[in-house]
């Protein structure tokens, strides 16, 4: 059955939505049957609150930059329809889902919670199962799975979602190829090789000469003398 996945990340004004913190960036990468489609969703948002320099240093999004951006309520329906019915792949899912649910609940009327419209796969929980006792943040996973994140200066939602997509594919066995022409070419090549062997007929058996057998016996004598035994002699 075809599977639609959305690799998702958010950037926020702080840690806890219950303290009034809001989402300032949403980044989503769509994957269909483990292949990236290019149908991504990316929005910067005005959180209607001031951000401290400490959090700006993390994601690089300034108060001035988001001043003219849309509010979450302006893009809520578009975002809701985009993720509906998909499996969300999120690193530390409780954080992002908590913020999204908080934003949904602030709407009038509110939208239903994420788990009622999507399934959620937490790659942090998956990584902890695969690598217990090790660092399992996104940077550590990039090093472990040889995913290039050298272009990651700040924690950007869309960039982190793109990196997480590569990490997720590596964690779950790599990308599955859907290139049917390639599979057909390989099958035809294998069939031609088999037919070629059949056309050659039976292989000719070449027996050792008397001198070759004598030399072989001398070699076995030397092996037995040096090693005390010889596996090739009963």
Name the residues annotated as catalytic: 155
44/70 Cα distance (integer angstroms): 7
**C-alpha distances in Å from residue 140, one per residue of 126, 135, 149, 196:** 14, 6, 10, 50
DSSP helix/strand/coil, 26 = strand
**Residue 11 β-bridge partners:** 25
Taking CA 155 as the corner, what is the angle to CA 53 and CA 92, rounded to the nearest 5 degrees? 110
**Residue 44 β-bridge partners:** 25
**C-alpha distances in Å from residue 79, one per residue of 26, 76, 111:** 9, 5, 11
Q: How far apart are the first and last CA of the chain?
A: 58
Name the E strands within 60-140: 87-90, 119-122
């Amino acid at each position: 059955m075809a599977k639609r996945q959305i690799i998702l990340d958010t950037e926020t004004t702080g840690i806890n939505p219950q303290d009034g913190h809001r989402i300032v960036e949403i980044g989503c990468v769509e994957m269909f049957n483990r292949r990236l489609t290019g149908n991504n969703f990316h929005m910067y948002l005005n959180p209607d609150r001031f951000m401290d320099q400490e959090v700006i240093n993390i994601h690089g999004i300034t108060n001035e930059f988001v001043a003219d951006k849309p509010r979450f309520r302006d893009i809520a329906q578009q975002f809701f329809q985009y993720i509906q019915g998909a499996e969300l792949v999120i690193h530390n899912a409780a954080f992002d889902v908590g913020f999204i649910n908080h934003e949904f609940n602030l709407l009038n009327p509110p939208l239903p919670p994420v788990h009622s419209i999507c399934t959620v796969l937490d790659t942090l929980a998956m990584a902890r199962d695969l690598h217990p006792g090790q660092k399992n943040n996104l940077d550590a996973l990039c090093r472990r799975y040889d995913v290039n994140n050298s272009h990651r200066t700040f924690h950007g939602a869309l960039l982190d979602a793109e990196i997480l997509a590569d990490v997720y594919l590596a964690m779950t066995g790599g990308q599955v190829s859907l290139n049917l022409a390639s599979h057909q070419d390989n099958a035809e090549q294998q069939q031609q090789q088999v037919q070629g062997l059949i056309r050659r007929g039976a292989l000719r058996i070449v027996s050792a000469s008397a001198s070759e057998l004598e030399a072989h016996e001398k070699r076995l004598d030397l092996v037995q003398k040096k090693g005390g035994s010889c596996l090739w002699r009963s």
